[in-house]
Amino acid sequence: MFVDEARITVMGGDGGNGCVSFRREKFVPRGGPDGGDGGDGGSVVLIADPEINTLLPFRYKSIFKADRGRHGEGAQRTGRSGQDLDVHVPVGTSIADATTGAVLADLSHPGDRVVIARGGRGGRGNARFATSTNRAPTRHDPGEEGEQRTLGLELKLLADVGLVGFPNAGKSTFLSRVSAARPKIADYPFTTLAPSLGVARVDDDRTIVVADIPGLIEGAHGGSGLGDRFLRHVERCRVILHLVDPTTHGRSFSQAVDTIDRELGLYSPALAAKPQILVVTKKDALQDEGVLSDIRRDARRRGRPLYVVSAVTGEGLVPVLRAAADAVRRLDPEPDQDAID
C-alpha cells in the first residue's frame, strides 16, 4: 500500500538527575561531596533511507522516544547518556511541525539526516556546587526534559519525469510500455489511485525515472477528484510529460492543455514553470488526420515540443523518451572544469 502522509510524535530522552552524595573513605578525614552528573538524554534523528518507499510503517507506530539519561552516582560517576533513536523515512520526505505547519526539514537525498527532537541535558551533581565556604552542598540539578514534537510527514516522490493529464489519457499504459512498472490499467476514470514509479531505459547509457500521477480534473488544485493530494509528487519531477487523449469527445486538445496548465499554476507557479513536453496518445485510435494538423499548429503556438505516440503499437515512444532525457540533462549543472582538470 502506498501511503504518502503520516502524523507522528517524537520525544527526546530526559536527562538524568544529578546525584547528592558524600564520600566516607579511609584516609580522607573530611570526606566531601562526590555526587556525579546525570547523563544526557538521547535525541530522535530522522534519516532518509533509499530502501523505504512509503510512509505505511508510521500508520502502525506513531510514537518514537529516545532513551533517557541515567542518574549520576557517588564517587563522581556520571550517568550514562541515552542512545539516540534513528528513525528511517523514505527519501523525499518533508517534515513539518503539525501545530504551526512550519517546514522543519526536507530529506531529499539518500543519507540526509536531521535531529528533530533533542534529548534533555543531564543535571549537575552536588560535587559541582562545592566552594570554599560551602563544603557540604546538598544542592543538585534535575535532568532537563527532552524535546517533544508532533510532526506531519509528507512524501514527495523523486523522479526525473512526471506524467500528468486528465484521467484515461493513457499515462499508466505509457509507463507500462516504457518501463517494467505494472500500474493498474482499465477503461474507466481514476484507475490510478496512487503514484507509480518506473525506470525507463532511453539508450545504452541513459535511464530516467518516470512517475505516473493519478489523473487531474478541473479544480484539482482545490481538492476536486483526487485533488492536490498527489500534485505534490509532481513538484519534485524535473520535466513534465503532458499526455493528452485526442479521441475524447467534448474536450479539444487546446481545452485539455489549458485546463491542466491552469491547475498546475494555481497549485504552484514553480510547478507550472517546469519544462513541459506535450504528448498526444492513442494515435492508433485516431481516425481524423485533420485533428493532428490542428494539434500541431496549437503546439507551435505554445512553443512546446509535441510528440504523437501509440502505446499499443509502440510508435513514437523512443523519441519521447529521448526528448525527456535530453530535457533532464539540460537541467543538470555544468561540470566544474577545474575539478575535471
Rounded Cα gap, residues 222 and 45, in angstroms: 34
Residues 217 and 254 in one domain: yes
Residues 316 and 170 in one domain: yes
> pLDDT tens-digit profile of 11-43?
999 999 999 998 877 776 677 899 999 999 999
- Of 128 and 249, the structure prediction assigns the larger pLDDT to 128
Average pLDDT score, the chain: 83
Residues 100 and 170 in one domain: no
Residues 71 and 212 in one domain: no
pLDDT-based confidence at residue 335 (cuts at 50, 70, 90): very low
pLDDT-based confidence at residue 230 (cuts at 50, 70, 90): low
In this structure, are residues 130 and 138 in contact, taking their beta carbons and an 8 Å threshold? no
Residues 151 and 165 in one domain: no
Q: What is the mean pLDDT of residues 119-147?
A: 91
In this structure, are residues 220 and 227 in contact, taking their beta carbons and an 8 Å threshold? yes
Residues 117 and 188 in one domain: no
In this structure, are residues 127 and 134 in contact, taking their beta carbons and an 8 Å threshold? no
Residues 83 and 103 in one domain: yes
- Reply yes or no on whether the pLDDT at 124 is more than 90: yes
> pLDDT tens-digit profile of 271-318?
888 889 999 988 887 777 778 888 889 889 988 899 998 888 888 889
> Which DSSP symbol is given to 168?
T
Total domains in the fold of the chain: 2
- Reply yes or no on whether the pLDDT at 44 is more than 90: yes
Residues 325 and 186 in one domain: yes
- Of 221 and 56, the structure prediction assigns the larger pLDDT to 56
Q: Which domain holds residue 186?
A: 161-337
User: What is the pLDDT at residue 218?
Assistant: 61
Residues 326 and 177 in one domain: yes
290: burial class by Cβ within 10 Å (0-12, 13-18, 19+)? exposed
DSSP line for 41-83: PP-EEEEEETT---STHHHH--EEEPPPPPPPBTTTBPPPPPP
